[in-house]
Amino acid sequence: MTLDELRAGVDAATLGRELYDCVTDLYPLCRSLTGDGLRETLRRLQRRVPLTVHEVPTGTPVFDWTVPKEWNIRDAWVKNARGERVIDFRRSNLHVVSYSVPVRRRMSLAQLRPHLHTLPDRPDWVPYRASFFNETWGFCLSQRQLDALEDGEYEVCIDASLEPGSLTYGECYLPGESSDEILMSCHVCHPSLANDNLSGIAIAASLGHYLRQVSLRHSCRILFLPGTIGPITWLARNEAAVGRIRHGLVLVCLGDAGRFTYKKSRRGDAVIDRAAAHVVRQAGDHVVEEFSPYGYAERQYCSPGFNLPVGRLSRTPHGCFPEYHTSADNLDFVRPGQLAGSFAACLDILDVLEHDRVYVNQSPRCEPQLGRRGLYREVGADEMAMLWVLNQSDGQHSLLDIAERSGCAFPALRRAAAALERHGLLKEAPVR
Amino acid sequence: MTLDELRAGVDAATLGRELYDCVTDLYPLCRSLTGDGLRETLRRLQRRVPLTVHEVPTGTPVFDWTVPKEWNIRDAWVKNARGERVIDFRRSNLHVVSYSVPVRRRMSLAQLRPHLHTLPDRPDWVPYRASFFNETWGFCLSQRQLDALEDGEYEVCIDASLEPGSLTYGECYLPGESSDEILMSCHVCHPSLANDNLSGIAIAASLGHYLRQVSLRHSCRILFLPGTIGPITWLARNEAAVGRIRHGLVLVCLGDAGRFTYKKSRRGDAVIDRAAAHVVRQAGDHVVEEFSPYGYAERQYCSPGFNLPVGRLSRTPHGCFPEYHTSADNLDFVRPGQLAGSFAACLDILDVLEHDRVYVNQSPRCEPQLGRRGLYREVGADEMAMLWVLNQSDGQHSLLDIAERSGCAFPALRRAAAALERHGLLKEAPVR
Amino acid sequence: MTLDELRAGVDAATLGRELYDCVTDLYPLCRSLTGDGLRETLRRLQRRVPLTVHEVPTGTPVFDWTVPKEWNIRDAWVKNARGERVIDFRRSNLHVVSYSVPVRRRMSLAQLRPHLHTLPDRPDWVPYRASFFNETWGFCLSQRQLDALEDGEYEVCIDASLEPGSLTYGECYLPGESSDEILMSCHVCHPSLANDNLSGIAIAASLGHYLRQVSLRHSCRILFLPGTIGPITWLARNEAAVGRIRHGLVLVCLGDAGRFTYKKSRRGDAVIDRAAAHVVRQAGDHVVEEFSPYGYAERQYCSPGFNLPVGRLSRTPHGCFPEYHTSADNLDFVRPGQLAGSFAACLDILDVLEHDRVYVNQSPRCEPQLGRRGLYREVGADEMAMLWVLNQSDGQHSLLDIAERSGCAFPALRRAAAALERHGLLKEAPVR
């Protein structure tokens, strides 16, 4: 199957439903940097995408870091004097600070208070908090819940373990014609948060599912990694092979209603930067952000010792929507249509990466006579796209170059080039 | 005579009248891609400008194209049942689709209708239509005329011929000091349309007329070509010589009331691009457009196999004024003053091309003392222009470079340079 | 003492007072291009800054110029028929056109009038006028004074001398670790004008005073020169040594309430241009102007034979405030706080020039773990600055490059780099 056939074969409504179902399925699991919630997430994704699951033991050195202890949680609660669970992990896994050490104590509200986190400005929302590298414990709750707590003694229990174990991540490799790779990467360490990470997970999994069926020039590698320590571990274990990565995308926050935001790689002018900028520009309202050393896995991919051509595709970026890292980033915040639109943008970018080529006009002195070849009526090839491809195809400009100069959409140029090539007016340039 | 003397010697009012008279004289002729209307146009221009007329036989191969049959028309009409000419070529040559094959038939209005072209949104205007490469026939009329046609039988006559003959074009070559050429090109294939082509023809002819009397560094070549096939034919016949073209301008739509629009050559940074952009910028409100492979003869000059430094000077570009390609592009639409202003802009551009030079400041350490040389009062040289020329003349920056950096008008810099050179403060740099 | 210690040690209020006192002290002196007023100015500055005073004899050739005669004035007045001084040099030295030749005559108001200069639009202000290179004489007065003059005979006296003598300038050289120099230059030829030249003089003198106490990498050279002929003379006498000037600033109009204006050197991309642009950008509302060959001593430093990397720092530039070159540019127009702010901006620029370095991240593959080094809490180093320094320190980007790319303030980056260097995460790159 070709990429075009894939796109023709899957309708947006079906796709949106599939993506949203995936988000819904994974939403209740208590993911963290390590542990069984993350393992179960990858297990479920394996139904849909051919995923190798890696386990890296606690204590393994990975560059300047060490793989941390594994965290697992069974239950957690705060009970009031009447024995009622006033904070209950079973109701939402956000209620426990991720990586909390085990605790079982009685204490007064005053003693408990420093361990309770709320969002006073959003009194109905529960914040998401984690403390991966400081051993501590805590609960998150809404401001209204906190305000309702009476003075008195509370019983506190976090039935968790923080012990040697392993760090888990998933990897899907789809071999293409060439060993040149396109990397796609998402993070899998957040618990019940729908946009900030499940949207990226669902799209990455669907990319794996569908692209497995497609013949591509590039090989594709799709990574499902916990944040920070995940890409660091993957890079440390695959250092020798990163030279094959030609293009890469971090996928995150792709289910909300915002416009697309593409954040450039550290290089700033990599092909992925230009391809993604072209695609989001064609999509209408959009933002192209310069690189900054903050955010998600791009921080590691774009560290100066790697400097990989990896950008980030989002809709509204992290921290720019109030629901970010709160219980309001829930199943209502992401929508099937928005997920499907993001998936389509990924395919559009892939389409550029796969089909960007340099051609040479075989009739370069004056325009060739398109009319007598019936090319003005050629299905799917518009005249301006043909004129641009002919004019710029001097062996120096790729279709993406032409897309940038002309403002024509890449697919129109690609179809124009194909039509011209069929009529002998264009030949692919020898590889430079 | 120098260019300065030419400019001092011709006043704008006289010039405007001459240009407008030329437009008026040529307006009634039925020009087309080939044929006697075009021939007569060139013949009349020969009164004013030393024009060589070339005839290229039908069937001559020119790159990917072939010189077409020659089209001539004597008369054309549609008569109603009462024998009245309801559409009449004698009233306006726009009434016949250019290159219509001969026809003489009786038919019902229903049969006739597919051959009738109107502008429903502009019910009083007659459109201009041509069908050069598809053998067909048709009439153009106003929507009101069409609406007034009664059902019934009509007699249709196009008394035209489409037969082997030749393609005609005109060429004026004015030798200069050097064989380096400035190309000026206009199209001559449109019938009674005043702005879209007669304005360009009149200005090109007047440039030939006046520049013949001027000593120039560059040789000038002025081409009067039918659209598309004209420049293709000229380029095919002059391929070996195009290397002499250093700068070029396509002249079109120069008589309307709009601001100047300069469209860059494919190179984008050719001297002509910078010179013309400077001149239209100095003229006030203006547009500088990037190259695109659409429009007039620049499509051929800027095809990748030639890539000549040829831009296009217009006022309102084709397709951007509603009168475009309609009977409303008539003798009221172009005005003498607008034509004269366009002619002056051409001379301004020529002035830059002719006088752009690199100088070397002979007193480069600190400023020279202008006061003791009386240079602060030097007629026609202003202080800022002198300071800029002195400061930038290190052998690396031409006057045009300085014009771009300083925002000073080129003529002011040129006069400043002349004054400084007279006082020994500046010398022309050796040719790089 | 380090630059940081200097900045910590002097509070803005004290500094503002010192700068304003300097302006106040020098305000009454009648400075001109040469003469005793200028000499006395330098003498008073010597109390504060180690200044070498140079005397260059009249007639000395300096490039295209000649050192002019020395001008001194003792008194000047216009007396009415009643013997009253209606214009009196003793009330303000602005009343006499600078460099007026001596005169002692009786004349009618009509005869006197061509020698009287006013500002009709600002009827209470006295203009400042000079005639350095045309031998003439004149008086400046307010329009109201002029309007009050009665017809009748006047006695005119300018008790001045214009005779062979010398041109005087001051120079302060502060040796640093390296012989690479930072040049600071102000003009000292204006009489009682507070912003347009005393603000620059006071700041330059305080820079000399304080920087003498500081250990710097660069040597500093601070010049107190009369306008135009001053920098020309200095350059002529120091031609062989100008190659040591790595960075330079002309200091002028720094006491008014306007935003900062930095005017770039002729080079446009010199380190001083980027450093000063960064500093004024960080200061908030600001203007960065392109170079133009007009203004102050930068005209000479940036003449093409020298092309030194010297820009100009001002608040409101000359000619852009109505008080410019009038009696309204007085001690009320400049304020201590504004002077202190300008001084601080100079130190900020110096800080960039002194501390701009290229580092190499010693842990370049992925981010190093800042947390376990306590670097997230490091005093004075913020996280984003650390991430930017780590990400960009690949041996190709200096701290100033990083400041430009990141938008972080230079001092934050410098402190981040210092913290990272202390923890072994960064090393200075070998000199390229």
- In the three-class reduction of DSSP (H, G, I as helix; E, B as strand; rest coil), residue A422 is classed as helix
Cα C160 to Cα C138: distance, rounded to the nearest angstrom: 12
* Chain C residues with beta carbon closer than 8 angstroms to that of B405: 290
Q: Which residue of chain B comes nearest to A364, CA vs CA?
A: B305
The per-residue pLDDT for B58 is 98
Amino acid sitting at position C281: R
Cα B257 to Cα C384: distance, rounded to the nearest angstrom: 55
The per-residue pLDDT for C430 is 87
Look at A366 and B65 and tell me if their CB atoms are within 8 Å.
Answer: yes
Return per-residue pLDDT of chain A as tens, 432 residues.
999 999 999 899 999 999 999 999 999 999 999 999 999 999 999 999 999 999 999 999 999 999 999 999 999 999 999 999 999 999 999 999 999 999 999 999 999 999 999 999 999 999 999 999 889 999 999 999 999 999 999 999 999 999 999 999 999 999 999 999 999 999 999 999 999 999 999 999 999 999 999 999 999 999 999 999 999 999 999 999 999 999 999 999 999 999 999 999 999 999 999 999 999 999 999 999 999 999 999 999 999 999 999 999 999 999 899 999 999 999 999 999 999 999 999 999 999 999 999 999 999 999 999 988 988 765 556 999 999 999 999 999 999 999 999 999 999 999 999 999 999 999 999 876
Cα A313 to Cα A346: distance, rounded to the nearest angstrom: 8
Half-sphere exposure of B367 (CA within 13 A, CB side): 26
- C132-171 per-position pLDDT tens digit: 988 999 999 999 999 999 999 999 999 999 999 999 999 9
Q: Which of B190, B237, B319, B165 is nearest to A366 (CA)?
A: B237
The per-residue pLDDT for A378 is 58
Total CB pairs under 8 A between chain B and C: 63
* Chain A residues with beta carbon closer than 8 angstroms to that of C423: none
The per-residue pLDDT for B311 is 98
The per-residue pLDDT for B381 is 61
Q: Which residue among C292, C294, C303 places its CB closest to the CB of B366?
A: C303
Distance from CA of A204 to the nearest CA of B (A): 39
Amino acid sitting at position A101: V
* Cβ–Cβ < 8 Å for A366, B232: yes
Q: Which long-range contacts (CB under 8 A, 24 or more apart) does A115-124 make?
A: A115/A139, A115/A156, A116/A140, A116/A141, A116/A146, A117/A141, A118/A142, A118/A143, A118/A145, A118/A146, A119/A143, A119/A326, A122/A322, A122/A326, A122/A328, A123/A147
Any residues with CB less than 8 A from the CB of A5 and at least 6 apart, and which?
A: A214
Q: Which residue among C231, C235, C303 places its CB closest to the CB of B391?
A: C303
Distance from CA of B267 to the nearest CA of A (A): 11
The per-residue pLDDT for A250 is 98
Cα A414 to Cα B177: distance, rounded to the nearest angstrom: 48
Cα C42 to Cα C186: distance, rounded to the nearest angstrom: 12
Give the DSSP letter of residue C33.
S
Look at A293 and C391 and tell me if their CB atoms are within 8 Å.
Answer: yes
Q: Which residue of chain C comes nearest to B365, CA vs CA?
A: C305
* Chain A residues with beta carbon closer than 8 angstroms to that of C391: 266, 293, 302-304
- B60-91 per-position pLDDT tens digit: 999 999 999 999 999 999 999 999 999 999 99
Amino acid sitting at position C134: N
Q: Is residue C432 scored above 90 in pLDDT? A: no
The CA-based angle B301-B357-C297, given to 5 degrees, is 130
The CA-based angle C348-C350-C354, given to 5 degrees, is 120
- C285-294 per-position pLDDT tens digit: 999 999 999 9
Classify residue A265 as left (phi > 0), alpha (psi -120 to 50) or beta.
beta
Give the DSSP letter of residue A372.
G
- B267-293 per-position pLDDT tens digit: 999 999 999 999 999 999 999 999 999
Sheet-wide strand order for C166-174: C52-57, C166-174, C219-225, C181-187, C245-251, C310-314, C260-263, C286-289
Q: Is residue C374 scored above 90 in pLDDT? A: no
* Chain A residues with beta carbon closer than 8 angstroms to that of C367: 64, 228, 232, 293, 299-300, 303
Question: ipTM of this model?
Answer: 0.95
Which residues does A contribute to its contact with C (CB < 8 Å)? 62-65, 133-134, 228, 231-232, 235-236, 239, 266, 290, 292-294, 299-300, 302-307
The per-residue pLDDT for A66 is 97
Cα A140 to Cα A132: distance, rounded to the nearest angstrom: 16
| DSSP, residue by residue, A335-347 | -HHHHHHHHHHHH
Q: Which of A337, A269, A343 is nearest to A307 (CA)?
A: A269
Cβ of B381: how many Cβ atoms within 10 Å?
22
Taking all residues of chain C, what is their mean pLDDT, rounded to a whole number? Answer: 96
Phi (first) and psi of residue C366, to 5 degrees = 65, 170
| DSSP, residue by residue, B336-404 | HHHHHHHHHHHHHHHHHHHH--EEEESS-SS---SGGGTTTS-TT--HHHHHHHHHH-EEEEEHHHHHH
Q: Is residue C104 scored above 80 in pLDDT? A: yes
Give the DSSP letter of residue B194.
I
The per-residue pLDDT for C29 is 98
* Chain A residues with beta carbon closer than 8 angstroms to that of C392: 293, 304
Look at A294 and C384 and tell me if their CB atoms are within 8 Å.
Answer: yes
Distance from CA of B420 to the nearest CA of C (A): 14
- B93-131 per-position pLDDT tens digit: 999 999 999 999 999 999 999 999 999 999 999 999 999
Cα C376 to Cα A370: distance, rounded to the nearest angstrom: 65
Look at B63 and A363 and tell me if their CB atoms are within 8 Å.
Answer: yes
Chains that touch B (3 or more CB pairs under 8 A): A, C
Residue B245 in tokens:
């073209």
Name the strand (E) or helix (H) holding A225. strand A219-225
Classify residue A63 as left (phi > 0), alpha (psi -120 to 50) or beta.
left
Give the DSSP letter of residue B150.
P
The per-residue pLDDT for B376 is 76
Q: Is residue B377 scored above 70 in pLDDT? A: no
Q: Which single residue is written with the structure tokens 């200061």?
A: C283
